[in-house]
Structures are given as C-alpha cells and as structure tokens.
Structure 1
Amino acid sequence: MLNLIELEQFVAFSKYGTLSKVSKLMNISQPTLTRNMKHVEDSFGVSLFARRKNKLSLNETGIKAVEYAKQLLKDEKNAILMVQEFDRKLHSITISSCAPAPLWLLSPKLSTAYPDYTISSSICDTDKVISDVKSDVIDVGILPYKYIDDSFYVTPFFTEHLSVCIPYEHELYKKDTLTFDELNGYNCLLRDQLGFWTNLCKRKMPASKFLIQTDESEFLELVRSSTLFCFTTNFGTYPDGFLENRKIIPVTDKAANVTYYLVWKKEKAYRF
C-alpha cells in the first residue's frame, strides 16, 4: 500500500536527485530513506530505479510514477481542505446583505441563537445576494424588498428610514422634510460600503456630486468640518453628540424607507 509520507520523499528524490540531499532536507536518516524508496517501489510492484554502484536514479517507469505520486499528494491536500471546509460550513452561518444596518442587528442575534457557530458576513448587490443563496455560497441573504421564490423562506426583518444631516448654515436646514428631487443638485458626503443605498442616492440625485470616503476617521472629520450634508438613518452609527451642529431631516420618498427581508433556503431551519 502506498504511504503518503514515503511518496513525498519519493517526489523529493526526483527533484533533488540524491538520497543524501533529501536526507538532509527532510531530516531523515539515509538508511531509512533507502528502505522507504524500496517500499515505494514494492508498493507499485514494478522497478522504479536504475541502480548502479553508489548511484541511484529513476528509470523511465519511475519518472512516470513521480507524476502519479504528485497527483496523489495534491489530491490528499485537496481532500483535507474539502473535509475541513465541509466541517466549517456545518458550524458556520454566512450572511450577505444589500446594506450594512441589517448586519448590525442580525449578526449578534445569530451569535446568541448559535453560540457554537462562526458568523461571517459581507455586503454585496441584490442580484448577487439572490444568486449566492440559490447556489449555497451563503446561508442567509438580506434584500431591500420582498423576494418570492417557492424554495425560500422570506420574512420581513425591519424598516430603515433615510435622513439627511444638514449643517445649520446650509440653505436647506429650514426644511422639516426633504425629497430626492429637492436634494438633487447639491453636493454631499457619502461613506463607502453602504450597499444599495449608494446606488440609490446616485440614481435619485443625478445632478449631485458625491464625495465618497473610504476611511471612517476622515469621513467623520469631514462631517465635523464640512458644509456639505451627509446621510444617516434610524440605525445610523455616528458617535453620540457628533451631529449636534446639524439638523436631521427625513427623506420622504418611498424609496428612502426600506423594509429588509431575510431569505434562506427552506431546508435550512434557522431560528431568528
């Protein structure tokens, strides 16, 4: 029977050419290595080496055996990774969301319900959320609308309301409500990683320019010092008192008030 450790030594011999080099590199005595090479040969049941005085080399069959040995070793590593990945999936729940706020609520809820599981999450566009749930790339998806599919459980999660944070010196600060039409044409600050909200604002405000910030500390500093407005929601995460010099005005468009839905395959009996 083939031994994987001996096959590694066999492949190493094909690479380095001498038993002494393999002995030093793999920290194994040369007599033991010689016995192992003989055992590999016996396991294949054919001659693999050309033996001359003080010289051992692979014959033509041995060279072919090395190719198969490499594939066996590769298959062994892949098998280990696949089994580990399978076990990981049995003890993990993966979530993809169209926006960040649902993850802030769902991740801790799942951690409480499944304390022995690893909870991982990501933000991506709605089409990818759906395709990843269907293909089992993820376990739970979060969408900004109700998705109908007989193979899915679909349940409402919560509603998020968009508002703008208007500096008091801004000409819109006297408003009590605003629409995207009224905001269109004004430039604003925008944090990245907002999921579908980013595309929504760009689509609804085509005449506006958006100063998108990837670094949170730089974004907060601009919010503190800039005269540009920014966005928040009823689940906004600005530090306490940070927006005291700005007026929070709700956006009344239907598109700015979003109910999120959880979707997952019916064979996965999660508790939310």
Structure 2
Amino acid sequence: MAVNLELLEELVAFKRYGTLMATAEHLMITQPTVTRGMKKLENDLGVTLFDRSVKNRLVLTETGELAADEAAKLLQHVDDFEEKILNFDHLKNELPASSTIPGPLMFLEYYQKEFPGKVQVNRRLLAPEEVVPELFNLKAKLVFSSQEIMTDEIESLYLGNEFLKVAIDPFDPLATHSSLTFKDLGNKSFLVFQDIGQWKKVIEDNIENANFLYQNDMNTMEAISQNSNFPFFISNLTQSLPSTTDRSSADGPNRVIVNLDDPNNQMEVYASYLTSNRRQLQPLLKKLSQAWPKE
C-alpha cells in the first residue's frame, strides 16, 4: 500500500496545531481539503485516527498519535532524500508558470530572484479553459487565474485580488479626482497592451464609447506613453514594478495614478497546481501571498 505523503504532512500538522482550521492555514490549503484528506488517510490505512465523539471537536486517537509521530519521522527522511537529489540535479528545480492575466506573471517575475528555483514564465496568456490541461500536461507547475479549482489532483490557493487603476495626464480634469468609475472614463482613448487576458472584456464591456489603442510590443507602448498624453491602465500588482514606473514618467512624472472604485473592477487571483507539487511550490506561494499588495 502506497501512502500519500501530502496526507501524512496534513496529519503531522494537525497534531501540532490541534484543529482543522489551524492545520489548513499552516499548509495554505482549505479546511475541506484537510477533512477529505484525513478521511482518505484513515481509509487507506484501515484504522481510526480521530475521535469524533466530542461535538465540534476532532482529536487524535492513540493510534492517531502514533501515526502522526511515525509520519513526522518518515517525512524527515523524505526531505533528506529530496535535498540530496535536488542538490545533485539542479534542473529538477525548474518551475514553469502560466496565467490567464498578465499582472500575476509580472509580479512573479519581480519576486522570482528571492526564490531559489528556476522560474520560467510563459508569456502567452491562457484562456480559462486551458488551465487544467496546462497542469495535467505538465506544461506548467503553477497557473494563475480567476478560477478556484479543487479536485483530488489539483488545488488552488487564493492569493488576493487584482484591480485596475488609471494613469491620467495631470492636466486632465479627471486627474483631480481621488477615485473614478468606469463610467467616468467613457469617450476617451486609452493605450492598452494587446494581451491582457480576461481584463480585455472587463474594460471593453464597462467603458462606453472608448477607443482602445492596443499595442503588441511593450517597448513601443512605453515609448508612446512617454511621448503622449494618452491614459493607460495599471493594476495594484504592477504599480510599483520598474516597468510601470518607467512608463509613468519621462524627465519627470507625466501621469497621475487614480483609483477605479467600480464594482466590476475586481478579479480574484488563485494559484493552481497539482497537489503532488504542493511542497515544492509552498515557499514561493508564501512569498507571493505575503508580498501581495492590499491597495
């Protein structure tokens, strides 16, 4: 009988933290995932690991206590084994990543220097229906999208929200506002990068009579933005990145960043991956989650 190491990791974490909620938070997965995992582990082992007789409380049986202790030893041996192999073969650290929207990929590229793996970013944005095949076909180990996927083989971690802001010429009357809505932006012309995934439908559906000047090359777009007064969009993920600050200024600041306070201006971002890759991805996901901008 082959025992799932991820389930053993959940068992060890439960013994340490004492509740399903705390276990899920530590492992950065959902509480239902832990519940299903512990039931599956009991079925796989053919023993009772938890006492469920106490209302609203789950405790380990004596067998469960022993299983958690032995699982901790086994996982340590696995960690030692993996460290030796990975040190020998650095290529095993490669981490290809894809997305349905560009912001998370740009955010990942900026922070990848702080992650010891070799992150490979696929700049071709995926359609939402391509996310699952991308993971199953091992084209990517990590995919960012607005959809949560929870199956036995794939799980998603909610990282945060992405929302747009608009960079406006300081002499435009709208630049004096602390926030705007999509309706306020009607009848204007905007510089927009061609491949913005799901955000393209959002702006086209919500900004009336707008003229979107789509650009295929980011360098060309940066040159046009620095030598014109066309507004353009950024997001909370890209606002502080060097590529955005360069585009917002020439010899000095030539754009004012204004928030868009609109109910349609929000996209939840999830990081989806095969459960078998969870342990490799956790350091990166924790870094991204901690660095994710709240404004």
Q: Does 1:245 align with 2:232?
A: no
Superposition deviation, residue 163 in structure 1: 0.5
TM-aligned CA distance change 1:221 to 1:108, over 3 Å: closer
Q: What do residues 17-68 of structure 1 show as CA deviations (whole Å, max 9, x unaligned)?
A: xxxxxxxxxxxxxxxxxxxxxxxxxxxxxxxxxxxxxxxxxxxxxxxxxxxx
Instruction: Map 1:48-63 onto structure 2 (within 5 A).
Output: none
1:265 paired residue number: 274
TM-aligned CA distance change 1:110 to 1:166, over 3 Å: closer
d(CA) in 1 for partners of 2:271, 2:170: 38
Instruction: Map 1:183-198 onto structure 2 (within 5 A).
Output: 183-198=185-200
Q: Are 1:161 and 1:250, in contact at CA under 8 Å, matched by a contact in 2?
A: no
The alignment partner of 1:268 has SS state of helix
The alignment partner of 1:248 has SS state of strand
Give me the identity figure in percent. Answer: 18
Gap runs ≥5 in structure 1: 1-86
TM-aligned CA distance change 1:89 to 1:140, over 3 Å: farther
For 1:132, give the aligned amino acid: E
Displaced runs of 4 or more, over 4 A:
87-91, 107-114
d(CA) in 1 for partners of 2:245, 2:110: 20
For 1:213, give the aligned amino acid: Q
Over alpha carbons, which structure has the higher Rg? 1
2:166 paired residue number: 164
Superposition deviation, residue 88 in structure 1: 11
d(CA) in 2 for partners of 1:140, 1:267: 12
Superposition deviation, residue 166 in structure 1: 1.3
Gap runs ≥5 in structure 2: 1-88, 285-295
TM-aligned CA distance change 1:112 to 1:224, over 3 Å: closer
Q: Normalised by the size of structure 1, how large is the TM-score?
A: 0.58
Aligned with 2:234 (options 229, 232, 235) = 232
Instruction: Map 1:1-272 onto structure 2 (within 5 A).
Output: 90=92, 92-107=94-109, 112-115=114-117, 117=118, 119-122=120-123, 123-234=125-236, 235-236=238-239, 237-240=243-246, 242=249, 244-269=253-278, 270=280, 271=282, 272=284
Q: What do residues 197-224 of structure 1 show as CA deviations (whole Å, max 9, x unaligned)?
A: 2232122225211101123333123222
Q: Are 2:155 and 2:274, in contact at CA under 8 Å, matched by a contact in 1?
A: yes
Superposition deviation, residue 190 in structure 1: 0.7
The alignment partner of 1:218 has SS state of helix
The alignment partner of 1:238 has SS state of helix
d(CA) in 1 for partners of 2:259, 2:110: 28
* CA RMSD of superposed structures (Å): 2.9
Q: Are 1:170 and 1:227, in contact at CA under 8 Å, matched by a contact in 2?
A: no
Q: Are 2:97 and 2:119, in contact at CA under 8 Å, matched by a contact in 1?
A: no
For 1:242, give the aligned amino acid: S
Q: Normalised by the size of structure 2, how large is the TM-score?
A: 0.54
Superposition deviation, residue 164 in structure 1: 0.5
